Amino acid sequence: MPRYAGRRAVVVGQATSIDLAIAKRLVEGGAEVLLAAGTPHERAYASAELGSAARVVTPAAVGHGPWSDGEGVDFVFADTVATARPLLPYLRDGGGVVLTTPAAVHEFAAELASRGIRVNAVAPGCIEASADGTAPLPPLGRLGSAEEVARAALFLATDATFTTGARLPVDGGLGTP
């Protein structure tokens, strides 16, 4: 049985390579995925990458309820608290939120703890897609990939079942604040 079979996830934010990598891993694991992408070009590209196993919609469409059957979602992957907040009514109790921008993760985690919802964040740094060639390499001596950030985000959402309010640096040892 695929790892994420029977699970639903929403990936919403800035439609970055990290968002697409998260969606790909979820789809590969058997999850139903809704990915928000802003431009028609981004939506076409994401649809081609993900195939029919995922729905790719505009960010505005996500706020009206992720699925028409009224069922909730297990995981929300969002860039910020403000992006994740409109999805809270659809998030199942005991679910998980992973932010790709770690600001206010502790406060948001405390707010949702009574529903058993875990909130964590990844803090990517020195990632290939965002590198402009001028930043120093981290101690690991190479740039990271969106796939590596996606694996960390999925760990926080699915395997870190007694972790909330955590900020996981995915920066090759650079120590991003």
Q: What are phi and psi of 71, to 5 degrees?
A: -70, 155
Question: How many whole angstroms from its chain centre is CA 138?
Answer: 23
Q: What Å distances lie between residue 149 and 6, 17, 120, 170, CA to CA? A: 23, 10, 13, 6
Q: State yes or no: is 45 an active-site residue.
A: no
Catalytic residue among 90, 96, 118, 169: 90
The helix/strand count (H/E) of the chain reads as: 6, 7
- Of residues 109, 106, 102, the one with CA closest to residue 171: 102
Cβ-proximal residues to 163 (8 Å cutoff; 6+ apart), any chain:
118, 120, 156
| Separation CA 99–CA 177 (nearest Å) | 15
Give 111's strand partners: none
Residues labelled as active-site residues: 90
